[in-house]
Chains A and B, each alone.
Chain A
């Protein structure tokens, strides 16, 4: 049976891994290649690199990091942050990543999803969706690193990215991000139920209980973890061991 994927996310700024709370107040937590290696050795199922400066400084830093990591780490790598064209995506694949995560760019130009997936396949594109709660069972899509509300309903957008060819959805709750207070279970469940592609839950993964909850009740196919790992609150081995004891399949 398919295992639930545990995916560390490394936000990169100035060649360092950083972490913030609710998309604000970034703090440095370590060297990207070192952390990537450490997570790989402790059983990470995939890795995500988010380039927080791509739009400002260009992509050289993240590309050289991917090239370095891809030579020694043989699990899927996903890169996100400021990807706006097929050319951007191509550079990232050539550097050695398997998938690109697009957020703002596809909201502005949804046809970009199909452009990229037609060339590289559905499995190459993760649609990254940042959602903020707007009321009972209503979440709004935000772009530009969570700063700009769009007025678009999250579930409607999730269905559209699937229709246009995205292979997976990376769903982040802006309200929970960095708080380690638990994932938004309702948000995850509603989105997971409305699409036929895998959903990766992100935002709020604070302890084993919340991870188990978002998998079982939230129907997440995978979970993204950042703060809980970067701040050393727990490790991947411990997380997997606990999930196993709760009868959740992990590698």
Chain B
């Protein structure tokens, strides 16, 4: 069962439609007890890092999610779905913000773009591609104010450049994740989903 995690932060429909288009059947899971049977997990995260981590805990998804990922269940994360793999996000530093840590499966933190218009909105190119499910110079669609900085550079699967160079994708054992919205990146994005998602 390919689980598509939904914690109430939009975007599920878009990903489900894209998966459906490429012939991948997924089951929406919003509670921990339903994640147990997952043979593969996809999580498109949109919104506040802290709020999303809080939702994982509220829905008893956090423990089972961590357990399955550590066990080797294939994971594909999108946007905040990549950021939560890390230890901490600067987004939780803003006042009145939900203060939650990340899963810490990957060492490193999530930081904010320092200059330019924020969020970065639009198509940017992938560089330094190290994964066979991505292509150098491919244009993909980003909407982000924050980005992950892996402590171990070998997990970086691609970078991109906005006001700073930043990590655009990671790969580590059973884990694959992208900062951009593969489900909104046209045919390029669909191809990435086809290659990256392990059923």
Contacts and interface: CB of A to CB of B under 8 A. Distances in A.
Interface string B171-199: 00000000000011111011000000000
A71 B21 contact: yes
Contacts of A40: 186
Nearest to A44: B186
A48 to B, nearest CB: 14
Contact of A3 (B47, B122, B186): B122
Given A70-B14, A198-B121, A2 B162 contact: yes
A128 interface: no
A71 to B, nearest CB: 6
Contact of A74 (B124, B143, B183): B183
B10 A45 contact: no
- Chain B interface extent, by class: 20 to 34
B37 interface: no
Contact of B184 (A2, A74, A93): A74
B46 A71 contact: no
Interface stretch (B59-67, B69-77, B112-120): B112-120
Interface in A193-214: 195-198
- Main SS at interface, chain A: loop
B124 A123 contact: no
B141 to A, nearest CB: 7
Interface residues of A, number: 31
B115 to A, nearest CB: 9
Interface string B135-176: 000010111000000000000000001100000000000000
A121 B10 contact: yes
A251 B139 contact: yes
B14 A1 contact: no
A196 B186 CA distance: 27
B30 interface: no
B125 A1 contact: yes
A98 B13 CA distance: 10
A74 B21 contact: yes
B123 interface: yes
Contacts of B125: 1, 3
- Specify which of A70, A75, A94, A196 lies most central, judged by the most chain B CB atoms within 10 Å of its CB: A75
A4 B121 CA distance: 10
A76 interface: yes
B118 A2 contact: no
B58 interface: no
B14 A45 contact: no
Interface in B1-56: 9-10, 13-14, 17-18, 21, 46-48
Given A98-B184, A197-B118, 6 more contacts: A2-B123, A45-B123, A71-B17, A74-B17, A196-B117, A221-B122
Interface of A: 1-5, 40, 45, 70-72, 74-76, 93-94, 96, 98, 120-124, 167-168, 195-198, 221-222, 251
Interface of B: 9-10, 13-14, 17-18, 21, 46-48, 116-125, 139, 141-143, 161-162, 183-187, 189-190
30 contacts: A1-B125, A2-B123, A3-B122, A3-B125, A3-B139, A4-B122, A45-B122, A45-B123, A70-B13, A70-B17, A71-B17, A72-B21, A74-B17, A74-B18, A74-B21, A74-B185, A74-B186, A94-B13, A98-B14, A98-B184, A120-B10, A121-B46, A122-B119, A123-B119, A123-B143, A124-B10, A196-B117, A197-B119, A221-B117, A222-B122
